[in-house]
A and B are shown apart, each in its own frame.
Chain A
Amino acid sequence: AQRVTQPEKLLSVFKGAPVELKCNYSYSGSPELFWYVQYSRQRLQLLLRHISRESIKGFTADLNKGETSFHLKKPFAQEEDSAMYYCALSTSGTYKYIFGTGTRLKVLA
């Protein structure tokens, strides 16, 4: 069965420190992978997707098919990065969306 695992429920880092939010997936096909973010009192919104190979707000994520991972990274965390982050997978063909349980990032001053 398809699954997305985010092992950390909470990640606290100091401002200016590097950040890595982990995401591992289980899927035998060719996945589409995403990171969604929810800031306080805001809607869930797309942060980035692996197909675009883009950097958004300084965040990047690389799909590692060998390790079945799609970790989200930022070299220098900012206080405004504090939010809930969800990794999501879309299956090929059926386009079924599966979300992880989320990681709350707290950036401390």
Chain B
Amino acid sequence: EAGVVQSPRYKIIEKKQPVAFWCNPISGHNTLYWYLQNLGQGPELLIRYENEEAVDDSQLPKDRFSAERLKGVDSTLKIQPAELGDSAVYLCASSLGGRGYNEQFFGPGTRLTVL
């Protein structure tokens, strides 16, 4: 099995442009997470989904970031417009259930560079 799939792996855009990231979780995993990882830092949660419901989006900068998980499977994270400070790695993870002790399975991440 491929595990969590993310695309694209790398993205370079100019500031003020829009960008979107896609995530396909492991089959059967109803919980999906989007994380932001800045250089030299640990992952920071942006949003957590239980099926198609966003149960924790308190750290998502809603003025420019949006996310959706239609049909409770794939998810898309969008930034519009992108700023220089958005350059980072965006990680998607999934787990079987949202309980705190459940293992999270991470994707390879998308490295975003905003020029």
20 A-B pairs with CB atoms under 8 Å apart are A32-B100, A32-B101, A43-B3, A43-B108, A44-B43, A44-B93, A44-B106, A46-B103, A49-B101, A49-B103, A51-B101, A86-B42, A90-B101, A95-B100, A96-B45, A97-B45, A97-B100, A99-B42, A99-B44, A102-B40
A77-103 vs B, CB cutoff 8 Å, 1 = contact: the mask equals 000000000101011101111111110
Residues of A within 8 A of B (CB): 4, 9, 32, 43-46, 49, 51, 86, 88, 90-92, 94-102
Known: A9-B40, A95-B100. 11 other contacts (CB 8 A): A32-B100, A45-B105, A49-B103, A86-B43, A90-B101, A96-B45, A97-B33, A97-B45, A98-B45, A99-B43, A101-B42
Q: List CB contacts (< 8 Å) of B60-109 with chain A.
A: 91, 93, 98-101, 103-109
Question: Which of B41, B48, B99, B106 interacts with A101 by CB under 8 Å?
Answer: B41
B17-57 vs A, CB cutoff 8 Å, 1 = contact: the mask equals 00000000000000001000000111111001000000010
Question: Which of A45, A46, A86, A91 interacts with B100 by CB under 8 Å?
Answer: A91
Residues A96 and B43 in contact in the complex (CB < 8 Å), given A43-B3, A43-B107, A51-B101: no
Task: Describe B's contact surface by its main secondary structure.
Answer: loop
Q: Of B42, B43, B45, B56, which is in contact with the most chain A CB atoms at under 10 Å from its CB?
A: B42
Residues of B within 8 A of A (CB): 3-4, 33, 40-45, 48, 56, 91, 93, 98-101, 103-109
Q: Nearest residue in B to A102 (C-beta to C-beta)? A: B42
Residues A94 and B106 in contact in the complex (CB < 8 Å), given A43-B3, A100-B42: no
